[in-house]
Structure 1
Amino acid sequence: MEQTTFHLPRSQPEEQGISSTAVIAFLNAIKERQLEVHSLMLLRHGRVTAEGWWAPYAPDIPHMLFSLSKSFTSTAIGFAAAEGKLSLDDEVISFFPEEAPEEAGTNLTSMRIRHLLMMGTGHALDTTDGMHQSADGNWVKAFLQVPVEHEPGTHFIYNSGATYMLAAILQKVTGQTLLDYLQPRLLEPLGIEGATWETCPRGIQIGGWGLSITTEDIAKFGQLYLQRGVWNSQRLLSEAWIDEATSKQIANGDGGASDWAQGYGYQFWRCRHGLYRGDGAFGQFCIVMPEHDAVLAMTSGTNDLQGVMDAVWDHLLPAMKQEPLPPDESAQAKLAAELKSLTLPIPQLQMDSRLEETVSGNVYSLEDNNEHWNKVVISFAGNQASFVISNLENEYTINLGRGEWVEGKTSFLQVEEKRIAASFTWLQEDTLELTMRLIETPFAFTSQIVFKEDALVWSRHSNVQPASNDIRGQVTGTV
């Protein structure tokens, strides 16, 4: 079956009962609260009413979804159950008898697929760290060795290892990876191209995180669930699955003002206002609003996920009316201009520095540091600079623009070579600032380099925490 790209239809907000002014207010709230959002796409009645990307992020660039990946893994299990390849009541250890402990306890033997789906495995802690630390890379065995303290189905603990087990079970019963299995069932029908998914050391796609797709792809996925499993007049998923997966299967708190305490389904979170969502770390969202016939897809790089959702509830949700609104050409033009001009702040030139000629091309040897970087070279040519850094194994070159983004590709600070946008400015005569945005991820890193005679002092921090590759404190280098 040949893949064909499918784009969602577009519409003015007022035609679908949404005020352009309300969307502008939402954008203003995001800006005022200093929430780093990378993209948004708002659908109403199946049509895109507002879409925007904060440069240097762009429509065609895939974005790392983190735990929003879990909702796609759940969907794969829904397909497999419908095809009779597995049952939600199958025992987890039945798929991996060779990996199970010799004396499996009652709680482990009674753990079912549905308990993995609802994050009700019975574990007291997330199993992911233990899986990562397994010396032989056998994550399945590591998961099954973790004590199960509670009766499955009675205790919620957010557990990415449980989602990995769903991926491992799917690969065991189908002989295919998650993406290969989803290709004809979900990706091709929705026109999702170029999806990638990280794998464990043994080649199983991780399930709980690691999927990368575009913002419009996220929106299509949400629209499929909003349409209760029907796409282009064809049923892909059963209504029964949609209802079960997105309804509260287990309690995860006492409700209240938190959108992380409203109940959990099958790898979907319940929200306030009767809505549900898939979401991932640092603000990757697919919010489905059945009563409003709306979907909101967003990617971000923020630690304040509740702040993003509060802005949605404060500004977008109340703006959705049952009937179309009168055209408002002035507000529509203003909204279109704002969406087109969205950008994350580019570090602007604060001053020129006479040090450019002095330090350009110098090779600085770095003191011991936790990342094992050993040399750095910074060179300037007109309005561009290059930052070359090396360790014992690799050398990386990042090109940066003066007061503008320069895009390229690198595997610096990333597992694989992916896109980066970088810029530089002088904060003071002796202080250079470098901004590097890994634009297929939520991460951005800002370095400050202070030059002192024949030495430099380098510090770096991330836009979001935790970030395992932050340089803690400062590193000194000498010519």
Structure 2
Amino acid sequence: MSVHPLPSSTPAAQGVDASGVHAFLDALEADPAIEPHSLMVLRHGHLVASGWWAPYSAERPHHLYSLSKSFTATAAGLAAAEGLIRFDDPVISYFPEFEADVTDPRSRAVLVRHVASMSSGHLAETLDRARETDREELVRGFLLVPPDRDPGTVFAYNQPTTYTLAAIVQRVTGQSLTDYLRPRLLDPLGIGEVAWQRDRRGRELGFSGLHAATDAIARLGQLYLRDGVWDGERLLPEGWVAEATRMHVANADGGTGGAPSDWQQGYGFQFWMSRHGFRGDGAYGQFCLVLPEQDAVIALTAATEEMQEVLNLVWEHLLPAFGPGPLAAPRPEDAALGERLARLALPPAPGKPAPPERTEEWSGAAFTPYGGVCAERPGLTAVDVTPLADGWRLTLTEGGHRLDLRLGGDGWSVGDEPVPTALSGGWTDPDTLVAEVVFLETPHRLVVTCSLADRTFTARWRTVPLDTRPLRAMGAPRGSV
């Protein structure tokens, strides 16, 4: 979180009808398929609405998944302005050690602009094939997967293209993405600590893995809304925003049943075109929406597989709330919205206190996976339940490592070691304990069910992590774990 708050204002003063924000919140919270985590709305450069659904909070970073890509593209734009890369150079020219291996003419014709716009000529995601080809060097693996069409002619959402762009930036700068961006982007914007996952080579992934607060998303969006200028200082090269946020190759990715899709409007340099404005987005509902016509930015984090529905709700409720000029004040809707945003909270998982007649049986009970192995988390081998003076301790053992969690009271029990979590739940009957573990720097929640009758447990994700990190590392990278 930044130590320099964004300028703030009432919704009415910036021409925002607070009743539209209320309606948007109502719709988000009424949809069982959407778990909102945070929302920030900026209009005319002022923060007019912000809130976090407890146990999520403003200062915590959140895994942005593919919204990371927009930060990677920004680093590439800065490197190009410094003459370190050129978008019309062949990718292979930055990796001369692969020259002898990469012989396919189309692979050799892939330019930096093609990986920046996901138009490498492949017709589908190449991540698995690239990894199978070379598990140690994903750039080489990617270049050894021959494109199906000429580069620049087709779009395919393709993680190794962004990874390659990130690898080029890190190679020519001699720095990680975060180190390169810190003095050029993050510090000038007032963005606090961020952390980016690395691969086994030590490279920051580029295509995913960035953990940053919602505030960082909002500031990036505002910078792009203002054509790369922040507080009167140009941070991004002139013309970069227009180039990065225009359609480079048409796409038809993500359409379902003929319904209008915000994934069919074209793709820029790691930004999506939307039915309104443009955006960066990441799996499970991480959004940076930039709306030039409304002079607005919306930053949002969530846990949902219904990302199109989130955008539909934005277009339905928030878009009409942006009026042409200030509204008459004072408006009770503004005060009510501020109060509502200050007390947002996710409901804790239901459950009763431990049954008194079975307390001794539950004390120190050990559970093994139902069926012999935990299907969604094979490395999770044991769950232990231990009484505490003020509740219970739930211990998850994965790969020989323990994750101790406290269960107590009616709300969320928050812990920070070894990874930020919040736990809630209780007994659904005398023989069954159900606890839900929220990993507070991610969109992910693990539901653990223990059965005393057969001393077994099950564990299932509400949203399945797209990487293979151990539970004890299910948060922003913090060195070795």
Give the TM-score normalised by the residue count of structure 2. Answer: 0.91
For 1:248 and 1:105, the matched residues in 2 are separated by 27
Task: Tell me the residue number matched to 1:6.
Answer: 4
Q: Is the 8 A contact 1:434 1:447 kept in 2?
A: yes
**Residue 350 of structure 1: CA displacement?**
3.9
For 1:100 and 1:428, the matched residues in 2 are separated by 65
**Residue 106 of structure 1: CA displacement?**
1.5
CA displacement, residues 3-27 of structure 1 (integer Å, 9 cap, x when unaligned): 9832101111000001111110110
CA displacement, residues 243-274 of structure 1 (integer Å, 9 cap, x when unaligned): 0100111111288610000000000000003x
Alpha-carbon distance change, 391 to 118 in structure 1, aligned in 2, over 3 angstroms? closer
Q: Is 1:259 the counterpart of 2:265 in the alignment? A: no
Alpha-carbon distance change, 373 to 280 in structure 1, aligned in 2, over 3 angstroms? closer
Alpha-carbon distance change, 419 to 180 in structure 1, aligned in 2, over 3 angstroms? same
Alpha-carbon distance change, 283 to 432 in structure 1, aligned in 2, over 3 angstroms? same
**Residue 365 of structure 1: CA displacement?**
4.9
Task: Tell me the residue number matched to 2:432.
Answer: 431
Q: Is the 8 A contact 1:124 1:157 kept in 2?
A: yes
For 1:103 and 1:58, the matched residues in 2 are separated by 47
For 1:95 and 1:467, the matched residues in 2 are separated by 29
Match of 2:366 among 351, 363, 368: 363
**Residue 134 of structure 1: CA displacement?**
5.8
Give identity over the alignment, percent: 41
For 1:249 and 1:262, the matched residues in 2 are separated by 11
For 2:9 and 2:325, the matched residues in 1 are separated by 14
Task: Tell me the residue number matched to 2:20.
Answer: 22
SS of the residue corresponding to residue 280 of structure 2 reads strand
**Residue 169 of structure 1: CA displacement?**
0.5
Q: Is the 8 A contact 1:127 1:146 kept in 2?
A: yes
**Residue 100 of structure 1: CA displacement?**
4.2
CA displacement, residues 404-427 of structure 1 (integer Å, 9 cap, x when unaligned): 1111134xxxxxx42111112111
Task: Tell me the residue number matched to 2:444.
Answer: 443
CA displacement, residues 122-153 of structure 1 (integer Å, 9 cap, x when unaligned): 11222222344466521121111112111011
Letter in 2 for 1:145: L
Task: Tell me the residue number matched to 1:269.
Answer: 272
For 2:410 and 2:349, the matched residues in 1 are separated by 6
For 1:404 and 1:247, the matched residues in 2 are separated by 46
Task: Tell me the residue number matched to 1:241.
Answer: 240
Letter in 2 for 1:310: N
For 1:56 and 1:151, the matched residues in 2 are separated by 48
CA displacement, residues 262-287 of structure 1 (integer Å, 9 cap, x when unaligned): 000000000003x1000000000000
Match of 1:404 among 408, 411, 415: 411
Alpha-carbon distance change, 427 to 204 in structure 1, aligned in 2, over 3 angstroms? same
Equivalent residue runs for 1:54-453 within 5 Å = 54-100=53-99, 102=101, 104-133=103-132, 136-253=135-252, 257-273=260-276, 275-350=277-352, 352-353=354-355, 354-366=357-369, 367-369=372-374, 371-381=378-388, 383-391=390-398, 393-410=400-417, 417-452=418-453
SS of the residue corresponding to residue 206 of structure 2 reads coil
Q: Is the 8 A contact 2:351 2:434 kept in 1?
A: no
Task: Tell me the residue number matched to 1:477.
Answer: none
Alpha-carbon distance change, 77 to 467 in structure 1, aligned in 2, over 3 angstroms? closer
**Residue 467 of structure 1: CA displacement?**
6.1
Alpha-carbon distance change, 432 to 106 in structure 1, aligned in 2, over 3 angstroms? same
CA displacement, residues 187-208 of structure 1 (integer Å, 9 cap, x when unaligned): 0100111111111111111100
**Residue 349 of structure 1: CA displacement?**
3.5
**Residue 388 of structure 1: CA displacement?**
1.6
For 1:116 and 1:152, the matched residues in 2 are separated by 9
**Residue 31 of structure 1: CA displacement?**
1.2
**Residue 465 of structure 1: CA displacement?**
3.9
Q: Is the 8 A contact 1:435 1:447 kept in 2?
A: yes
Alpha-carbon distance change, 447 to 100 in structure 1, aligned in 2, over 3 angstroms? farther
Alpha-carbon distance change, 178 to 325 in structure 1, aligned in 2, over 3 angstroms? same
Structure 2: runs of 5 or more not aligned: 470-481
Letter in 2 for 1:398: L
What count of residue pairs does the alignment treat as equivalent? 459
For 2:191 and 2:88, the matched residues in 1 are separated by 31
Letter in 1 for 2:145: V
SS of the residue corresponding to residue 384 of structure 2 reads strand
For 2:468 and 2:412, the matched residues in 1 are separated by 22
**Residue 115 of structure 1: CA displacement?**
0.4
For 1:218 and 1:406, the matched residues in 2 are separated by 27
Letter in 2 for 1:22: G
Q: Is the 8 A contact 2:114 2:120 kept in 1?
A: yes
For 1:246 and 1:74, the matched residues in 2 are separated by 11
How much is the aligned-residue C-alpha RMSD, in angstroms? 2.1
Name the stretch that deviates more: 292-301 or 386-395: 386-395
CA displacement, residues 175-195 of structure 1 (integer Å, 9 cap, x when unaligned): 111111111110010011111
Alpha-carbon distance change, 265 to 396 in structure 1, aligned in 2, over 3 angstroms? same
Alpha-carbon distance change, 330 to 103 in structure 1, aligned in 2, over 3 angstroms? closer
Alpha-carbon distance change, 208 to 391 in structure 1, aligned in 2, over 3 angstroms? closer
Letter in 1 for 2:84: K
Alpha-carbon distance change, 257 to 391 in structure 1, aligned in 2, over 3 angstroms? closer
SS of the residue corresponding to residue 36 of structure 1 reads strand
Structure 1: runs of 5 or more not aligned: 411-416, 471-479
Name the stretch that deviates more: 118-127 or 74-83: 118-127
For 1:245 and 1:468, the matched residues in 2 are separated by 28
